[in-house]
Structure 1
């Protein structure tokens, strides 16, 4: 393994350097950097041309300019752009904006896409499978700039107008309730009676819920409250226990329920701390939650069930914390909405200029600016993850060891989670690593549509001005990420699949 890593690292470095030479040559010839200076009046033309020529070393050969850039880059200095600004500071701002933009979109696309793929595989050729396939490929085929324009119109402008009088029409309630019922009925594995029962109950429950939310004008001043938080935490405990170990074993369920109860107690006990916390406070609370839930799973699980009780308790604790976090943020929605002129969903930029609010209000501001570009990226990426997951799951479900597991009397949950899902996700590891590496380079179209100044904008500006320094800074991050994550994917694949030998 060490020999493989060393060999792959050596090759990757030479590939990165060879590509950097090509990118530098192309970036120096993409456009004349003196074109704008030549259009200046006679009084300032010569001085402007002289300043740009000296700053960009245009009189030197391309190879000498590349070697000078490479030497500075190895020391961490990426030079200055055509205007004399430090590229390091430009890259720092652009990279932080890109990470803020793509992190949520990437995580949501992976989680939702894999979940949809698993459900489609388990319900192969059903109406749900065909519907999900149809919708996924529609989203995949839509141009991103068109999706962004539709989202800005219907999920920003119209939604912000609707919040002034948040009344839900009976037709909309019926449509959403019917879609929810069809989805729940399609997901349920069982006979026709079970699916019909799930369809009717979920449709009625969603219709009643939407009617109550509309009648109470919940959307204008939202919040979950202690009852909903408690019921959600307990439901999460049951759900995570079912996923991890099943409900036939009591110790994992006891550990999960204990974690949920501690979360409910924390909802009241931490009220002063969560009034206006700092980000470090939230991180520390999450770490404490993991430690406490680990201890619960360790002691309540015992020697026989500790392996299942620990992850079930940790997942439940983090889920309860996320519900509490969401409730506190929703409680600040009305004050934030009033402070931004009742336009909480933004269409342009990464933040409201000069906005100064509490921790929760600032979080809502970031969420309001991230909502549309994140949703656009997720919709485009869903088809890839869902289709790859579905195909991989179906391939694994036909393997001999899966049939052997069923023949030994294992429950369907155990077969799916322990054998099918675990082995079916091995090929997805390569896809996830590659996507993360490529998306670090930014989403140029998304940034242009939603007015984000991130990595894509840095590249676009460098090309438009014929300036190689921003382009090379973009390459250092994006090219380096692709090389690193491709190597990580190969190594992870070998660890996950013992049939792979790298020696």
Structure 2
């Protein structure tokens, strides 16, 4: 294994070296970085030109300049090397400083979108594969192709118009009309009807339940003024957590494994005690505190699963640990909701919380929760735009992979041996269906780190994509190479990770020296 990794890393370095040389030379000869100064009417134009020549070593041939840039770039990737040096931009700012700001914006923008697209897309693909040729399958297939074909800039503009401007106008007087309640109920009934299998009578019954649930929920939200003072409260947190415990146990161990179910429910009980105990502590929350509390929550869940005993402690730990993580997320979300009135009424927000541009509200004052809500509201629309476009591909790939796996001989053998459907799907089919997706995920992550150029443009995010495009337009070579270096390294590393994941997911695949 170690020999294989070393060989792949050496090959990656050679590929990166060759690609960087080509990109550097082509970019260097693609334009004149002094063009804007040559057209200037400034009285000190010649002095400014000479300063830029000295700053960027433009009097040195591009091939020699590349090796000078390479010597600084090597110090960025070699551990314990000297200070990283990727040169300066045409404005005199260090490229490392530009990359630091741009990477922070891009990672903040694409991380949530990527995770949600992977989780939701794969889930939809697997569910539709198991319900092949059903109404749900046709519905999800239609929506997937619709989102896949839509241009991202058009989706982003629609989200700004209806998701930001329209919703902000609604929040000025959050009154839900009877017509809206009926529409939500009918839409929910249609979704329940598509999602339910069985006889027509059974599907109509679930459609009626879906209609009643959505109508009652929208009426409750309107009656209580929930949009102005949102929150779950301990009762809703407890009910949702119990549902999570049953759902997680069903997927990870099966409800017949009572030890796993009791482990998950015990975590819910401990979590409800913690819900009240940590509220004073959360009033003084910091990011580090929240991360440490999250780690402690998962560890407690794993410990409960381990000490619960039984014939399979691993299943107990999986159910309890995942339940603890999801319940902790619910408590965190509820605490953010409690801070909503303070954020909504902030004089910098002025009652229009859903933002359309930028990554934060300038000069916003507030505690950890208010600033967190500000970041969330700025990321909401671009995250949805990226997620809708990305999850379509994941759902199609995962559906095709799952359909192929479900027709394999070993799946039929597992069913013939009397294994339950949950065991067949989760233990035998699901794991193997993920193998082709490993390459797709690795490729997408490498590409996304390079920046979501169009989305960043529409929502005015100064990320890696914007930095790259603006540098190309100015013939600014060093920032172009900085973005290329980061993107290339991430792509090569994640492709190596994908190969290693293959050997974990499929025992037949082994990396060899």
Give the alignment's TM-score, normalised by structure 2. 0.95
Name the counterpart of 1:49.
49
- Secondary structure, aligned partner of 1:429: helix
Name the counterpart of 1:137.
145
Contact 1:260 1:320 in 2 (8 A): yes
Tell me how far apart the structure 2 counterparts of residues 413 and 301 of structure 1 sit (CA, whole Å): 22
Name the counterpart of 2:333.
326
Q: Does 1:477 align with 2:482?
A: no
> Alpha-carbon deviation of 1:292?
1.1
Q: Does 1:172 align with 2:142?
A: no
Q: Does 1:243 align with 2:251?
A: yes
> Alpha-carbon deviation of 1:196?
2.5
- Secondary structure, aligned partner of 2:461: coil
Name the counterpart of 1:452.
461
Name the counterpart of 1:181.
189
Tell me how far apart the structure 2 counterparts of residues 447 and 177 of structure 1 sit (CA, whole Å): 35
Name the counterpart of 2:388.
379
Tell me how far apart the structure 1 counterparts of residues 337 and 304 of structure 2 sit (CA, whole Å): 30
Could you report, residue by residue, the CA deviation over 1:142-193 in whole angstroms, capped at 9, with x for unpaired residues? 1111111111000001100100111122232222222222323333344444
Tell me how far apart the structure 2 counterparts of residues 442 and 325 of structure 1 sit (CA, whole Å): 29
Contact 2:106 2:463 in 1 (8 A): yes
Name the counterpart of 1:73.
73
Could you report, residue by residue, the CA deviation over 1:440-496 in whole angstroms, capped at 9, with x for unpaired residues? 111111111100011111101211111100001001101111111112112211332
Q: CA RMSD in A?
A: 1.3
Q: Does 1:285 align with 2:293?
A: yes
Contact 2:135 2:195 in 1 (8 A): no
**Which consecutive unaligned segments of at least 5 residues does structure 2 have?**
76-83
Name the counterpart of 2:95.
87
Give 1:199-278 correspondences, 5 Å limit: 199-278=207-286
Tell me how far apart the structure 2 counterparts of residues 14 and 62 of structure 1 sit (CA, whole Å): 20
> Alpha-carbon deviation of 1:499?
2.2
Name the counterpart of 2:423.
414
How many pairs does the alignment contain? 502
Contact 2:431 2:505 in 1 (8 A): no
- Secondary structure, aligned partner of 1:135: helix
Tell me how far apart the structure 2 counterparts of residues 415 and 54 of structure 1 sit (CA, whole Å): 67
- Give the 3 Å change call, closer, same or farther, for CA 300–42 of structure 1 in structure 2: closer
> Alpha-carbon deviation of 1:52?
1.1
> Alpha-carbon deviation of 1:41?
2.2
Name the counterpart of 1:490.
499
Question: In the alignment, which of 332, 335, 343 is matched to residue 336 of structure 1?
Answer: 343
Tell me how far apart the structure 2 counterparts of residues 13 and 463 of structure 1 sit (CA, whole Å): 25
Tell me how far apart the structure 2 counterparts of residues 115 and 173 of structure 1 sit (CA, whole Å): 29
Tell me how far apart the structure 2 counterparts of residues 437 and 307 of structure 1 sit (CA, whole Å): 33
Q: Which runs of 4 or more aligned residues in structure 1 lie more than 3 Å from their structure 2 counterparts after TM superposition?
A: 188-194
